[in-house]
Chains A and B, each alone.
Chain A
Amino acid sequence: MSTKKIMLKSSDGKMFEIEEETARQCQTIAHMIEAECTDNVIPVSNVTSEILEMVIEYCNKHHVDAANPCSDEDLKKWDKEFMEKDQYTIFHLMNAAYDLHIKSLLALAYQTVADMVNDNKWAFE
């Protein structure tokens, strides 16, 4: 198991360390790693540090292996708690998931918004 680390740089210039294997959940980053154009620092120029931190938190939780075991049920519960955020954050997370191509996070964000409509939490102001 490789524990190679790479760095992600947010739009406001903050650096975040993440394991390469974990970062591969982001299709966009996986492609860059495969194309060997990473240079160990990947600029994520349209995601702010605040949002990138959450994205990394999500990727770390969802990178399930022997070192980081988590049942599907627990993961679902965690996702639910993770998404207990305001509209502003959810839409930015959705945007980041779209840019970085994180299918599961994107689906989670879509579902969260759909649930908000369903539960009438939404204010169509």
Chain B
Amino acid sequence: MEWDSGSDLSADDASSLADDEEGGLFPGGGPIPYPVGNLLHTAPCGFVVTDAVEPDQPIIYVNTVFEMVTGYRAEEVLGGNCRFLQCRGPFAKRRHPLVDSMVVSEIRKCIDEGIEFQGELLNFRKDGSPLMNRLRLTPIYGDDDTITHIIGIQFFIETDIDLGPVLGSSTKEKSIDGIYSALAAGERNVSRGMCGLFQLSDEVVSMKILSRLTPRDVASVSSVCRRLYVLTKNEDLWRRVCQNAWGSETTRVLETVPGAKRLGWGRLARELTTLEAAAWRKLSVGGSVEPSRCNFSACAVGNRVVLFGGEGVNMQPMNDTFVLDLNSDYPEWQHVKVSSPPPGRWGHTLTCVNGSNLVVFGGCGQQGLLNDVFVLNLDAKPPTWREISGLAPPLPRSWHSSCTLDGTKLIVSGGCADSGVLLSDTFLLDLSIEKPVWREIPAAWTPPSRLGHTLSVYGGRKILMFGGLAKSGPLKFRSSDVFTMDLSEEEPCWRCVTGSGMPGAGNPGGVAPPPRLDHVAVNLPGGRILIFGGSVAGLHSASQLYLLDPTEDKPTWRILNIPGRPPRFAWGHGTCVVGGTRAIVLGGQTGEEWMLSELHELSLASYLT
């Protein structure tokens, strides 16, 4: 460049100087290794801020790059929602069918959950030409942990999708339709012999229709055609299906189980519906529960098994607490020092409420039967037992049954009062309020009084009572009766579902489990109840599993055969269900000696193997 040697030289000097410097900082003398230049120049990024407090999150700011790339001026778009970019041109009224509805629903989900979104979405310029938008949406939180703004950073990439001509300002843009799929473009006439369902867009079919079906039906639908098969492979869909079928409480518990995520909701739904993966296995754990005891109570808190009290040597009532953390690689029993423990007892119940709180009620103590209530927050530091002086408590009792309703209410039923009198009452204690008050659930008719039965909650607010030692005239017999009560009704009443019937008589309820007491009842997602163990008369094996679906029109008992070696014994007071899918049976070796380092586990899903 001889025509301007002077400036050339100086430029050379400058560049060589720069090279030297760069060479020093970055060996090899290459360009600066971070793409600042790229970011600002070659791939211009659009920048959008929306007000997350206002309804429909209006745009409050767009930068010049946004204006230049999309062709929309700021004044045209401020105050509106961002979704107009999914419509082809300013006259289109709805999202273009080629815009991936799954990505749109993912965006919506992220915004709803307040988490960042990253992904690619087809957008359109004002002139209708397509643009691929590599989008990142970041929620900005205000002082009070609410999202005040959402910042969108957009890398626009040219895309050469053949879309055909823009339909212009005609309002009859039938090909641009949010609810109908691209398949139905221009043919919204459902009566033309094609099934209407197939004309809906993927998002609507998946999130609006299929998500309302039962797990079994979604599974059936998936085998109809390839499109439905692909749609049913969506985890979000399965999560919703599970949530609808099992209730959000159950899905929340399942989410806490390690490995549930790996298995996926679709697989989990299948396994918990068919019980195809259920198996018995043995589990060895470390530590010890000293002094040895029986007639304690066990309960699960998350993935921890908690054991409280029991009958020690020489009928000594115990009041100590042990925890076995099954999340740990080598679970071991640990004695937890809890201050101000309740009086020692056995034959009580231990129930989990409000996440990590345990409630002890009743049982037999040094001075006789009890009707006091103690609560322990296992995660509090330091853990402390706290007595709840619930007004108007039920009669003191032992070997009663309890369960949790709505996650916060303790329900207690039956049991044995002084001098061996059996009880038939049902009480409720709402632990979510400041000063809990016992309330008896009045019922015109109650099942015969009993002890050692089980209470299970299903279908939200229905309770199911099974078995126990029931009063029959002057005698007491083991029972296999099933009673239910719907506590959401204004005047709840007990209903008999299936009974043992007269000996020798045919039972419409199928092969009922032999009558028993102190057995195990496991609630399955969707309302089914699994019964095993307990004290059974005669030669019947206590380890046989029986399944009942109380939501059926005519509930019928079924026998469930599963692989693995079951425990010889399983007692209701020594068994708890962890994470909704694992029944942990303590002391299943013998009837007498309680070996708490050898556990049996009935796992209902395969992710634990």
B435 → chain A, closest Cβ, in Å? 33
A98 is an interface residue with CB less than 8 A from chain B? yes
B191 touches A122 (CB 8 A): no
Cβ contact of B191, chosen from A88, A117, A124, A125, cutoff 8 A? A88
Residues of A within 8 A of B224 (CB): 124
Residues of B within 8 A of A117 (CB): 197, 209-210, 213, 217, 221
B190 touches A110 (CB 8 A): no
Q: Quick one: given A88-B196, A124-B224, are A113 and B209 in contact (CB under 8 Å)?
A: yes
A110 touches B209 (CB 8 A): yes
How far apart sit A90 and B197, CA to CA, in the bound complex (Å)? 11
Chain B interface, number of residues (Cβ within 8 angstroms): 26
B296 is an interface residue with CB less than 8 A from chain A? no
Q: Quick one: given A114-B209, A117-B209, A117-B221, are A90 and B171 in contact (CB under 8 Å)?
A: no
How far apart sit A122 and B198, CA to CA, in the bound complex (Å)? 12
Q: Could you give, for residues 164-208 of chain B, a 1 whenever the CB lies within 8 Å of some chain A CB and a 0 otherwise?
A: 000000011000001110000000101101111101100010001
Q: Which residue of A is nearest B208, CB measured?
A: A110
Q: Could you give, for residues 72-112 of chain A, a 1 whenever the CB lies within 8 Å of some chain B CB and a 0 otherwise?
A: 00000000000000011011101100100000000000110
How far apart sit A94 and B201, CA to CA, in the bound complex (Å)? 13
A37 → chain B, closest Cβ, in Å? 15
Q: Which of B180, B196, B208 has the most CB of A within 10 A?
A: B196
Q: Quick one: given A45-B171, A95-B180, A117-B221, are A110 and B212 in contact (CB under 8 Å)?
A: yes
A59 → chain B, closest Cβ, in Å? 19
B214 is an interface residue with CB less than 8 A from chain A? yes
How far apart sit A119 and B252, CA to CA, in the bound complex (Å)? 29
Q: Quick one: given A114-B209, A117-B217, are A92 and B197 in contact (CB under 8 Å)?
A: no
Residues of A within 8 A of B179 (CB): 94-95, 98
B475 is an interface residue with CB less than 8 A from chain A? no
Residues of A within 8 A of B200 (CB): 91
A26 → chain B, closest Cβ, in Å? 15
Cβ contact of A92, chosen from B171, B190, B195, B212, cutoff 8 A? B190
B193 touches A111 (CB 8 A): no
B225 is an interface residue with CB less than 8 A from chain A? yes
Chain A interface, number of residues (Cβ within 8 angstroms): 21
A2 is an interface residue with CB less than 8 A from chain B? no
B209 touches A125 (CB 8 A): no
B230 → chain A, closest Cβ, in Å? 16
A122 touches B188 (CB 8 A): no
Which secondary structure dominates chain A's binding surface? helix
How far apart sit A115 and B208, CA to CA, in the bound complex (Å)? 12
How far apart sit A124 and B512, CA to CA, in the bound complex (Å)? 40
A124 touches B225 (CB 8 A): yes
A107 → chain B, closest Cβ, in Å? 8
Residues of A within 8 A of B204 (CB): 110
A123 is an interface residue with CB less than 8 A from chain B? yes
Residues of B within 8 A of A91 (CB): 190, 196, 199-200
B197 touches A125 (CB 8 A): no
A118 is an interface residue with CB less than 8 A from chain B? yes
Residues of A within 8 A of B180 (CB): 95
Chain A to chain B contacts (Cβ below 8 Å), 18 pairs: A87-B190, A87-B195, A87-B196, A90-B196, A91-B196, A95-B188, A98-B178, A110-B204, A110-B209, A110-B212, A114-B209, A114-B213, A117-B209, A117-B217, A118-B213, A118-B214, A118-B217, A124-B225
Interface residues of B (CB under 8 A from A): 171-172, 178-180, 188, 190-191, 193-197, 199-200, 204, 208-210, 212-214, 217, 221, 224-225
Ranked nearest first, the 6 interchain pairs of A and B with the lowest CB-CB distance are A114-B212, A91-B196, A110-B208, A88-B191, A98-B179, A91-B190
Q: A91-B196, A95-B188, A110-B208 are in contact. List 13 more A-B contacts (CB 8 A).
A: A46-B172, A87-B195, A90-B196, A91-B199, A94-B179, A113-B197, A114-B209, A114-B212, A115-B212, A117-B217, A117-B221, A124-B197, A125-B195
